[in-house]
Structure 1
Amino acid sequence: MNHKIALTVAASLLATTALAQDKSLTVASWGGSYQDAQSKALFEPYEAATGVTVKQESYGGMSDVRLQVTSGQVTLDVVASGSGSAARAGAEGLLEPLDYDVIDVSRFPDSFYSEYCVGGDVFSVVPAYSTETYGDNGPRGWVDFFDTEKFPGSRGYRGTVAGALEPAMMALGVAPEDVYAELDSEEGIERALDKIRELKPNIAVFWTSGAQHAQLMKDGEVDMTTGWNGRFDNAAADGAAVSYNFDQGLLDYDCFAIPKGAPNKDLAMAFIAEISKPEYQDDLPKFITYGPTNGAAYETGEITEEVAASLPSSPANMAVQLPISLEWYAKWEPIAAEMYQEMLTE
């Protein structure tokens, strides 16, 4: 009898192991050096630790999720998203609420997770500049970026409204802590747009992806551009003559979300819980200079003081930046996006 029970238990364990090996998740991100870093620091170690296969895709953002959810043909289990996009998608009913009994966010700042999305990394929108053009004396903050007399040269600028209005408002002399109050009306949005209109003759490219703005600097196509700090660091590592600082940077985070009706919802929740642990997050800066959202990742010994100084979420760098307001984007982005597109086509 005991022998039979032992055989049954052994057979059950073998079946469970086989099932784990057959499990797979489909995870979508944005490609380029960012997804490469995620793959090396998060996705591949997760596969090794769990035996679950991560099928990676690159996607176009929440518009792809909306199409899948509204058509009832959801194939994605987990998506990487900007925090603002996830907040809007969650309000629209496109995402599953996250289970924070499963996902441990006890060491996450409150601003780095929400009902529908949990932060995976912290990045900054910064003014980057060509060291061939300006040496070590490039722009510090947005007043300098918009000053074409002090800093002549061509610019790159965001082709969508996300992260585009705040620099213009600070270039008008508005204190960072007052930016969103000043943008809390169509008149305020128009003020920021007018400032971008002034700069527009010097804007050679309105970029639409991280890969694009990094390539602009690698190719020397523009003398300075807005963009995401980690992309510039990777471009510099590839030989680009590019530098930046965090003064008045826009502090934001990317996050992970689960589309409504995901085919493997429970496994997706467990996946997010696993890769949110500090022993995963502390590896991401080895591949791209985005900071961890889990504060415990700074305590594992993997992130040196030198590396921490280059990360957006280190205390010193957070202190000189403006955190993105998800509340403002939830309220104003549809209107602001339409106004922004009108400005682009003038």
Structure 2
Amino acid sequence: MPTSLTRHRARKIGRFALPVAVSALLATSALAADQITISSWGGNYQEAISKAIWQPTAKELGITILEDSTNGLADVRAQVTANSVLWDITELTIDGCAQGQTEGLFEAIDYNVVKSEGFDPVVVQPTYIAFNYYSNVIGWSTEKFGDAGPQSWADFWNVEKFPGRRSLRNDPAEVLEAALLADGVDPAKLYPLDLDRAFKSLEKIKPNISVWWSSGAQAAQLVADGEVDMIGAWNGRISAAIKAGAKYKFTFNQGLLIADCLAIPKGVKNKDLAMKALAKAVSPEILANIPQYIDYGPANSKSYDTGKIPPELAKTLNTAPENAAKQAIVRGDWWGEHGQEARDRWAKFINQ
């Protein structure tokens, strides 16, 4: 099995910023009509997704898929505005997809072609659909707590029962949700987020946060070096540190599932083929390839019925039914509409 990778993020959620050269995959004798271009986040992450998703999709459809890298929604907006769309399918964060949908930057998805069975309805939208998830989870030092670390955000907030150095992400996304869960909000009733309540909850824990991490690499280093006793961080980062020898554990209890999504930019020249490729890419059989290359869970729950994900591997994945049931899905549509307000308040909170 290929070596598992972990999530790399820059910008507001730590995505790759380095460009990659456009590369032809599985070149056939197809003409331009049988060719599309996709964009993803570059680097090792894109290499893994290429092997898991785009190369098998190209092979099964008998087409050529070219790859480029993106820095996010602004790139798509620039192409659509200039009426010069280069990408037939683009990968974005779930909040980026939600914002792009609001701005009218994407083509409508034909759900007669793209099958949405197996997806949570929250991530099946008129112009975008999720394809993988990562999770923000609670991790703890086994040297400090053994197996009895914090099992909920209320535990994480409980500095008397669980004394020690803490770390949270320096961004409101996922942290506001955690703050509300810590304050007793039902996971099924998180949205719309009550910002006043969330920031009031955060004020309680703020004096006890030793490090506000700003990248996945930093979070992993905090775990690897044992600099904090507990952390709220992306599961792939914690699991990678554990595999490298860190004495840490984490739980999916009250984890926060965050999706990446796929969309077709408005004005593509080969929309029909893009739609077919999108349909194939999010099929259970193709998405089931993801865990072979990277520590993310497929967004289609039917991927676990294909037989391609061994039970021992499945139980470690965030979207396996047993683990997904313990978590809450981050609503990209809410962040797409209210994200700027939340970030403005966060900037004031973190700098006080």
Band of TM-score, shorter chain: 0.7 to 0.9
Matches within 5 A, 1:320-335: 320-335=326-341
Alignment partner of 2:223 out of 217, 220, 226: 217
Q: Which runs of 5+ in 1 are unaligned?
A: 1-15
Tell me the equivalent position of 1:114: 125
Tell me the equivalent position of 1:301: 307
After TM superposition, the structure 1 stretch with the greater mean CA deviation from structure 2, 89-98 or 331-340, is: 331-340
Q: How far apart are 1:142 and its partner, in Å?
A: 0.4
Tell me the equivalent position of 1:344: 350
Tell me the equivalent position of 1:195: 201
Q: How far apart are 1:334 and its partner, in Å?
A: 2.6
After TM superposition, the structure 1 stretch with the greater mean CA deviation from structure 2, 242-251 or 257-266, is: 257-266
Q: Which runs of 5+ in 2 are unaligned?
A: 1-26
CA distance in 1, matches of 2:235, 2:107: 30
Tell me the equivalent position of 2:172: 161
Q: How far apart are 1:92 and its partner, in Å?
A: 1.2
CA distance in 2, matches of 1:289, 1:93: 32
After TM superposition, the structure 1 stretch with the greater mean CA deviation from structure 2, 78-87 or 21-30, is: 21-30
Tell me the equivalent position of 2:71: 60
C-alpha distance after superposition, 1:31-87 (max 9, x if no partner):
465434312211232344434133142x33223323333344433332222323312
Residues 168 and 193 of structure 1 are in contact (CA less than 8 Å); yes or no, is this contact kept in structure 2?
Answer: yes
Query: Alpha carbons of 1:266 and 1:155: their partners in 2 closer, same or farther (altered >3 Å)?
Result: farther
Matches within 5 A, 1:11-30: 18-20=29-31, 24-30=35-41
Query: Alpha carbons of 1:22 and 1:231: their partners in 2 closer, same or farther (altered >3 Å)?
Result: farther
The count of residues paired between Structure 1 and Structure 2 equals: 325
Q: How far apart are 1:90 and its partner, in Å?
A: 0.4
Q: How far apart are 1:193 and its partner, in Å?
A: 1.4
Tell me the equivalent position of 2:87: 76
Is 1:150 matched up with 2:161?
yes
Query: Alpha carbons of 1:221 and 1:31: their partners in 2 closer, same or farther (altered >3 Å)?
Result: farther
CA distance in 2, matches of 1:278, 1:144: 36
Is 1:242 matched up with 2:254?
no
- State the 4+ residue runs in structure 1 displaced beyond 6 angstroms: none
Tell me the equivalent position of 1:91: 102
Residues 43 and 54 of structure 1 are in contact (CA less than 8 Å); yes or no, is this contact kept in structure 2?
Answer: no
Matches within 5 A, 1:271-286: 271-286=277-292
TM-score (norm 2): 0.80
CA distance in 2, matches of 1:311, 1:211: 20
- Secondary structure class of the residue paired with 2:171: coil
Residues 87 and 330 of structure 1 are in contact (CA less than 8 Å); yes or no, is this contact kept in structure 2?
Answer: yes
Q: How far apart are 1:279 and its partner, in Å?
A: 1.9
Q: How far apart are 1:168 and its partner, in Å?
A: 0.6
CA distance in 2, matches of 1:315, 1:143: 24
In percent, how many aligned pairs have the same letter? 39
- Secondary structure class of the residue paired with 2:130: strand
CA distance in 1, matches of 2:145, 2:31: 55
Q: How far apart are 1:244 and its partner, in Å?
A: 1.0
CA distance in 2, matches of 1:265, 1:24: 11
